[in-house]
């Protein structure tokens, strides 16, 4: 069995992704990026690799009815779920099943391009970034996020280790792939090579409340590419994963569940009005 490392989920898994991961982890992460992008009323925004649309919906609220928002994802199941959800407040959102390598828009169509936890899954990152720059207006900005190193998010780290130990390493790769682009120097170099300038980077640490892990862990896994491998494991193997997670996360237990830190890189840069050499600097925490 080969586990997908690009999070190509069928529609039922995309529904679980929206119901389980967006409220607890990926929604808060997307909103951190939207806040960092500093969207303004009336702006036009594109969410590349939008999934079920968490960042796009946050953007719609901020640009308001005078703005415009579009969401693009290559995964038809994700877009089907995004379209099925109640409309966001603010701007309406247009949804497109398209690749990040061939965005269906003319040059200079948007003020802002968002890319929330997507770039790490793309095989040709320079090509995707070139497309994002193409559809930005001169002076427009890109805002992207990628997870920090796996070791900096204890829940994810423990889950990858537990699945690799008790199920198999191939299944664990379905989550581990989300951390394939976690070195800040590499991220900054990709942005610079794509021709962006005035790059601003920071690290956001989110302390997120998760429910009882005995219930949450198998539900989480069911909404990821690890689902098939986990389902194929014995009950003893599945229980061992869950027990290891409960033990390793005991430090973060609260009265209502678990409150766990997750760390993500946030990067913002501008399409130049004219060609300049890019400057990139870190923003202190």
Residue pair 278/191 in contact by the 8 Å Cβ criterion:
yes
What local confidence, expressed as pLDDT, does residue 34 receive?
A: 98
Across the chain, where does the E strand assignment appear?
A: 44-48, 68-73, 93-97, 110-116, 136-147, 197-210, 253-254, 257-270, 280-282
pLDDT of residue 12: 83
How much is the pLDDT for 13? 83
Place of tokens 């269906």: 104
CATH superfamily of domain region 11-274: Vaccinia Virus protein VP39 (3.40.50.150)
Q: For the chain, give every domain's residue range.
A: 11-274
Number of other CB atoms surrounding residue 219 within 10 Å: 14
Burial class (CB in 10 A: 0-12, 13-18, 19+), 89: exposed
Per-residue confidence (pLDDT) for residue 285, from 0 to 100: 41
**Long-range Cβ contact pairs of 227-234 (< 8 A, separation 24 or more):** 227/13, 227/174, 228/1, 228/3, 228/171, 229/1, 229/3, 229/163, 229/167, 229/168, 229/170, 229/171, 229/174, 230/163, 230/167, 230/171, 232/1, 233/166, 233/167, 233/171
Please state the pTM of the whole predicted model. 0.90
**Per-residue model confidence as pLDDT tens for the chain (285 residues):** 444 444 456 668 889 999 999 999 999 999 999 999 999 999 999 999 999 999 999 999 999 999 999 999 999 999 999 999 999 899 999 999 999 999 999 999 999 999 999 999 999 999 999 999 999 999 999 999 999 999 999 999 999 999 999 999 999 998 988 999 999 999 999 999 999 999 999 999 999 999 999 999 999 999 998 999 999 999 999 999 999 999 999 999 999 899 999 999 999 999 998 754 444 545 444
The pLDDT, as a whole number, for residue 9 is 61
């Amino acid at each position: 069995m080969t586990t997908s490392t690009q999070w190509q989920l069928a529609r039922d898994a995309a529904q679980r992704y929206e119901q389980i991961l967006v409220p607890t982890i990926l929604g808060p992460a997307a909103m951190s990026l939207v806040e960092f992008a500093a969207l303004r009323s009336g702006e036009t925004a594109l969410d590349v690799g939008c999934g079920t649309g968490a960042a796009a919906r946050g953007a719609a609220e901020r640009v308001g009815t005078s703005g415009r928002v579009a969401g693009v994802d290559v995964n038809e199941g994700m877009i089907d779920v995004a379209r099925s959800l109640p409309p966001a407040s603010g701007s309406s959102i247009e949804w497109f099943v398209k690749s990040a390598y061939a965005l269906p828009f003319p040059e200079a169509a948007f003020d802002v391009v968002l890319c929330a936890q997507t770039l790490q899954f793309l095989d040709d990152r320079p090509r995707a970034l070139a497309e994002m720059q193409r559809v930005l207006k001169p002076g427009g900005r890109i805002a992207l996020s990628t997870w920090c190193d796996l070791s900096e998010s204890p829940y994810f780290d423990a889950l990858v280790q537990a699945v690799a130990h008790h199920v198999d390493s191939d299944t664990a790769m379905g989550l581990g792939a989300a951390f394939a682009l976690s070195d800040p120097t590499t991220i900054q170099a990709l942005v610079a090579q794509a021709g962006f300038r005035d790059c601003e980077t920071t690290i956001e640490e989110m302390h997120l409340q998760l429910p009882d892990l005995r219930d949450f862990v198998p539900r989480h896994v069911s909404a990821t590419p690890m689902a098939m491998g986990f389902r194929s494991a014995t009950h003893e193997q599945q229980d061992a994963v869950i027990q290891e997670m409960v033990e390793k996360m005991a430090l973060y237990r609260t009265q209502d569940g678990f409150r766990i830190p997750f760390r993500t890189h946030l990067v913002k840069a501008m399409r130049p009005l004219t060609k300049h050499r890019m400057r990139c600097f870190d923003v202190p925490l």
